Structures are given as structure tokens and as C-alpha cells.
Structure 1
Amino acid sequence: MVGWPLPVRAARLARGRTRTAAQGAGAPGLSHRIGNFVLFQLAWLAAVSGAAHGHVLAGCLVVAAVLACHLALAARPAREALLLLVAGLIGWAVESLQLRLGFIRYAGLAERALWPPPWILLLWALLASTLNLSMRWLHGRPLLAALLAAVCGPAAFAGGARLGAATFIDMPAALGCMALAWALLMPMLLALAERLDGVAPHD
């Protein structure tokens, strides 16, 4: 279950004006990045709570609305949409592997289910919507991104599990697998986000 509720990320947003100047005049403004951060948290909570309490469709609609808003505000929405799609599919594959390894189980799925629920795909796309905005400060910092992801990724999943959206079958193995996956994936996703950056206007 994707999610990255990073306190340090919010703190970094306060330095946005300096970072914006360093990244070019076309980089997104501070208010845009703060809004992205807040909407990510709200949509993540809606999706996870919806899954936990049998309101999956409602949670999915909230996430879809946030993603639609994100694309509507993007300078190059087609590029940003491609980023959301690719990240969503990568995340779907990772979550499918963990499910098949028997480390976790999602609420509402059969015990022997081989594929994660659709809201997982949407959550990975939601994460991708932060890569060029509220997590833009991690561009060009792969080691820091890997370290933070290895800690915060599993912590977010554990938070979702506490809300009832998932269950750990083998918690130590699951968290270890997640930490490794997040450490490997986050630098890759950030590099992809830089390449497909649809938020900043074309220079």
C-alpha cells in the first residue's frame, strides 16, 4: 500500500522559493506544492479509510478527482499523465509480488487473491503526482530519496494496516521487503519524473 506521509517533506516546502529559483523560473510555486502535499494526504486517507470500511468506490473517486485536478493544472498534462500511468503500473507489479509472496492481505480480497485491489493502482498514481511538486526537492538526490523511502514507505503501509485496509501475514518479512523495494524504486521514479516532468513549462 503506497503512501509517504513525510513530516520532513512539509518542512522542506518552506524552502520552496529558494529551490524554485535554483530549478528554473518555470518550476512550480510554493502554493502549488503545498496544495499538492495537502491533497495527497487527504486523498490517501480517503482511499485507505474507504477500503477499510467497505467504501472503496468513494475512496477511489476522491483519488481520481485529485488526479484529474493535478493533470488540469499541469503545463504538459500528457507527459504528466504518462508518468502517473507508468508509476501506477510499476507499483501495481510490486504490490502484486508482495501479495503473492504471502506477506500481506488487503481488506475485501479473497485469501488466495493474486492481484491487489484497484485502489492500490490509484494510490501509486497519486504518489506519482507528488514527484514533480511536493517531492521535487528530492530531484537529483537519489541516496537521500532511497533512505527516506526505505523508512517512510513501510511506515505508511503500517499506518494503512492500522486503519484496517490491509493485514500483515508475516510482518518482519513484509516490512523488510517493502524497505528494499522502496529504496530501489524511489530514485528510479524520481528520475522518471524529471524526464517526464509535465508540471514545469517547457524551457
Structure 2
Amino acid sequence: MIINFVGFQLLWASAVFGGARDMSWPSWAVLGVMLAGQWWFDPRWVKNTPMLLWGLVLCLLLEPIWLSNGFLVYTGWDHPWLAPGWIWALWLGFAVSFHYSLRWLCGRPWLGAAFGAVGGIFSVTMGIRLGAASAPLDWLPIAVTYGVVWAVAVPLLAYGAQLTGEREHHHA
């Protein structure tokens, strides 16, 4: 759990600071180390594989909500339907965290929704302030959008972690 918590904090920082400089490789390097540490110390690491898929799918489905509407523009990135690589790394690291440092949100959908809304707004605001993105239509549309989307995404990821954890537990 400690590896995941510290790893995700480093992942967020490397992704945002790298994103502000149009670089994705720092976030992928940190994600790789984070996952390797989890796989090394967790004998049931296979449960992470479905969570990586949950992260991929949610990134693919949810990022276009703010990108295609012009609510958010990532620095050095002009694709309206596809997020830059550092965002993909964040989604993957975040999704896997539901088996570790965010496990406390599993089975608590209302807490997950509140955590997602507040955390999403805080995260996008910090990303904008640190230069990784901009909000061309002003801060309020992206804050509302992020809050609503993340209030749904976090309980979904927690539910996915419950499903994959239970399935893995029954096969052990």
C-alpha cells in the first residue's frame, strides 16, 4: 500500500510537470516502477490487470467529454478526442490504486463520489495552474464537468476493484 501511495503521488507530479513540458516519458517511467513494485511485493498482483483495463476504457470514454467540448486543452496537444500519453499513465496508475491505497473507497459509493468530485476539481485546477493544461472557456465549465465525471468514475473504479478482487480471491 505504501508503494502505491508514494508511487501515485510521484506519478501525478511527473505526469503534470512532464505534461507542462509536453513530455510523457516521465509519467510512464514512474508508472512502470510503481507497477513493478506492486507486482514484486504483492503475490496476487494479477488482480491489477483488469484494473489497468478499467483505466484504459475510462480514459478512452471520459477524456473526450472535456476535450471535445473545448473545456480543457492539454499543453502541446491538439487532439480533441484522445488524451496525451501522460494522462493515460495517470488513469492506469489511479485505477490500480483501488486495490491498494484507495481500497478504503470500495463499497462506499457516496464517499467515492464525494472524493471523486472534490479530488477531480482539485487535480484539474492544479494541473492548469502548473501549466499542464488550460481552460479556454474559463475555470467553471471544466470544474463542473470534472466534478460530475469524477463523481461517477471513482465509484465505478471502486466497484471494478471489488469485482476483480473478489474474482481473484475466489481463484486463490
Q: Shorter-chain TM-score: which interval?
A: 0.7 to 0.9
Instruction: Give unmatched runs, 5+ long, in structure 2.
Output: none
Q: CA deviation at 1:153?
A: 1.1
* Percentage of matched positions with identical amino acids: 32
Q: CA deviation at 1:62?
A: 1.8
- SS at structure 2 position matched to 1:197: helix
Instruction: Choose which of 131, 140, 149 in structure 2 pairs with 1:181.
Output: 149
Aligned to 1:17: none
Aligned to 1:25: none
* Mapping for residues 124-135 of structure 1, pairs under 5 Å: 124-135=91-102
Tell which structure's C-alpha radius of gyration is larger. Answer: 1
2: CA distance, partners of 1:177 / 1:113: 16
* Structure with the higher helix share, 1 or 2: 2
Check 1:69–1:125 CA distance in 2 against 1; reply closer, same or farther (3 A cut). Answer: same
1: CA distance, partners of 2:11 / 2:81: 25
Moved over 4 A (4+): 200-203
TM-score, normalised with respect to structure 2 = 0.88
* Mapping for residues 24-173 of structure 1, pairs under 5 Å: 33-110=1-78, 113-170=80-137, 171-173=139-141
Question: Over residues 6-27 of structure 1, what are the superposed CA-to-partner deviations in whole Å (9 max), with x where a residue is unaligned?
Answer: xxxxxxxxxxxxxxxxxxxxxx
1: CA distance, partners of 2:85 / 2:156: 23
1:47–1:63 CA contact under 8 A, matched in 2: no
Aligned to 1:23: none
Q: CA deviation at 1:49?
A: 0.7
TM-score, normalised with respect to structure 1 = 0.75
